[in-house]
Amino acid sequence: MADFSINHYIHPSMAEIQKSCFGILEKVFPVGKEGLREITPACFDCPDKKECLQEALNTEQGLMFRSEVVDRAPATGLIGRFKRWSDKKDLSRRLKREKGKKK
């Protein structure tokens, strides 16, 4: 049975009732048995799956995950290196902002 509660996420147009797992990276995109992140089967039928995963990837934990993905991606050529540097810089700034919100 789905557990519904009001979460911190507020849609720009209105406050909505979301599932309690909404935007929590470890619940919607946990690390599987092989060490890779997997979407949970319960999320496939959820009408909020896109927004939920986007919210999860914009949390502090999600930004750290995205930074790890950028680190593992090959940066070929000068443009690839600049792109990688730009992505890391953007994620670093967003992570600092996210950490500042908690204090």
7 with 39, same domain: the answer is yes
- Structure confidence at residue 87 as a pLDDT band (50, 70, 90): very high
Confidence (pTM): 0.68
Q: What is the extent of the structural domain holding 74?
A: 58-103
The pLDDT of residue 74: 86
Q: How far apart are CA 67 and CA 52, in angstroms?
A: 19
64 with 35, same domain: the answer is no
The pLDDT of residue 3: 46
In Å, the largest CA–CA distance within the chain is 51
For 59-80, write each residue's pLDDT tens digit. Answer: 999 999 999 999 888 888 999 9
Q: Please identify which residue in the block is written with the tokens 């789905």.
A: 2
For 25-65, write each residue's pLDDT tens digit. Answer: 999 889 888 888 888 888 888 888 899 999 999 999 999 99
- Is the pLDDT score of 1 beyond 60? no
Please calculate the CA angle 36-55-25 and round it to the nearest 5 degrees.
35
Say how many domains are in the chain: 2
